[in-house]
Chains A and B, each alone.
Chain A
Amino acid sequence: MSHGVQIILPAVLRELADGAGELVVPIDGEAALLRTILDTAFVTRPLIGGRIRDETGGLRRHVNVFVDGQDVRRRGGLDLMVRSGAVIHILPSIAGG
């Protein structure tokens, strides 16, 4: 049985994914680290990866990632274990003027 997660991209990043709003990312086993999932998802789309995380690998300050509706910053951040079948939303935070 294959394992994977779904990533929902915000509209503003979809042009960098050839218009795709959703990505299905395979994972090894029943769960994987969020950072590994993001690495895999964007290895062939480095511009999207660079929009979400800076070159240190950290999440950009005003980018929010939700796993099954929960903000990952409150659940271990990029070290969160994400189960197969999860839905990951990437969203801009409310910021700016």
Chain B
Amino acid sequence: MTQTLVAIGTRKGLWLARSNDRNTWSLDGPHFLMREVPSIGIDTRREKPRLLVGVRSEHWGPTIMRSDDLGQSWDETPEGAIHFPDDTGAAVERVWQITPDVHDDDVVWASTEPQALWRSADRGETFSLLRGLWDHPHRPEWGAGFGGAAIHTILPDPTDPAEMLVAMSTGGVYRTVDRGDSWSASNKGIKAPYQPDPWPEFGQCVHKVARDSARPARLYAQNHHGVYRSDDNGGTWTSIADGLPTDFGFTVVAHPTRGDTLWLIPVTADSERVPPAGQLQVQRSSDAGASWVTCSAGLPAPSYTCVLRDAAAADTNEPAGIYFGTRNGEVYASGDEGESFARIAEQLPDVLCVRAAVIG
């Protein structure tokens, strides 16, 4: 029997929700109590899944923990899994993203604050800095959004192992076609309304990017005001915000198996970081952003919470499940692609990261 696992990273620890039917959930935790969990990777590429978790203590710094028994026990690489080479003079502040590769089962990608991309060839036990992006001439001009100077999105290209896209706030989208040796800004069409030139080459505050599962050159971006789609792997972007209650938000999730379907969680505005009209809601499109449906059944109103960029995820069940966590420590689950939601956790610390997977 398969089980659905929802891993919930919060400001003060990790919780693991499990369900055999996506109706009844058990909640296990906290793991790493009083440590922040901003990133989770659930690596299901082998028979025995591996959990990789970015953990950060305000006192004792960041690290990556891993579990090969779904959280019953945790290991840490003795020398630390991820640290900058001496010559950089930099130190990892926070691991923001942990992403299993789509071509090589041993490869895991990670990204950090400060903005850096890392590659592991041993399933996340040790990581090496990708110099091509670290040495990019734009790097001194990349900014730090309120969340920090971090790369928050890593999207390997399933059609070509040499291609990859990353994104950061505030720096924008960057793309490589040569396995990370060189990178180009890829923000044409994404507006930066907070800059004197609203159409810069880079510097956009892209909050999250997701890749369409059926048509990998199609991408969706939730920007700091603006929702965009690219049909040419980030070469150009066009707005798909028409029909949404607001173009602000942090997260975007693409359907894991069906093309043209995506979910957003709208936030009223930069200046009002609460749900539109006080209704916690998900916006779903089944036509690549041409039209939107409000999904709010089972979600609270009035609500004045917010959902952060990594605090939403989908599972690969049919129909797909969609999950998200709020800054006031609640986690909602839908087993019907957003038609209805149920709360599966409450009274947690503020939720930073949610990842879901089908296990077994």
**Chain A interface (Cβ < 8 Å from any Cβ of B):** 12-13, 46-47, 50-52, 54-56, 58, 60, 62-63, 92-93, 95-96
**One of B60, B84, B92 near A51 (C-beta < 8 A):** B60
In angstroms, Cα B58 to Cα A95, docked, is 8
Q: In chain B, what residue has the closest Cβ to A92?
A: B59
With a cutoff of 8 Å between Cβ atoms, the chain A residues found around residue B78 in the complex are: 46-47
A93 touches B59 (CB 8 A): yes
B91 touches A62 (CB 8 A): no
Q: How many A-B residue pairs have CB under 8 A?
A: 50
With a cutoff of 8 Å between Cβ atoms, the chain B residues found around residue A12 in the complex are: 59-60
Which label, helix, strand, loop or mixed, suits the secondary structure of the B interface?
loop
B140 at the interface (CB under 8 A from A): no
B76 at the interface (CB under 8 A from A): yes
With a cutoff of 8 Å between Cβ atoms, the chain B residues found around residue A55 in the complex are: 80, 83-84, 86, 90-92
Query: What would 13 A/B residue contacts be, using CB atoms closer than 8 Å?
Result: A46-B78, A47-B76, A50-B63, A50-B83, A51-B57, A51-B60, A54-B91, A54-B92, A55-B91, A60-B61, A62-B59, A92-B60, A95-B59
B197 at the interface (CB under 8 A from A): no
Chain B residues touching A, range:
10 to 19
B137 at the interface (CB under 8 A from A): no
**One of A50, A58, A60 near B80 (C-beta < 8 A):** A50
A60 touches B76 (CB 8 A): no
With a cutoff of 8 Å between Cβ atoms, the chain A residues found around residue B141 in the complex are: none
B79 at the interface (CB under 8 A from A): yes
Nearest Cβ on chain B to A77's Cβ, whole angstroms = 16
Q: Which of B58, B84, B86 has the most CB of A within 10 A?
A: B58
The 9 residue pairs across chains A and B that have the minimum distance between CB atoms:
A54-B91, A51-B60, A55-B83, A92-B59, A62-B59, A46-B79, A50-B80, A96-B58, A56-B91
B59 touches A63 (CB 8 A): yes
With a cutoff of 8 Å between Cβ atoms, the chain B residues found around residue A93 in the complex are: 59
In angstroms, Cα B83 to Cα A46, docked, is 12
In angstroms, Cα B63 to Cα A50, docked, is 9
Q: A56-B90, A56-B91, A58-B91 are in contact. Are A51 and B61 (CB under 8 A)?
A: yes
Q: In chain B, what residue has the closest Cβ to A12?
A: B60
In angstroms, Cα B57 to Cα A31, docked, is 32
A62 touches B80 (CB 8 A): no
Nearest Cβ on chain A to B207's Cβ, whole angstroms = 25
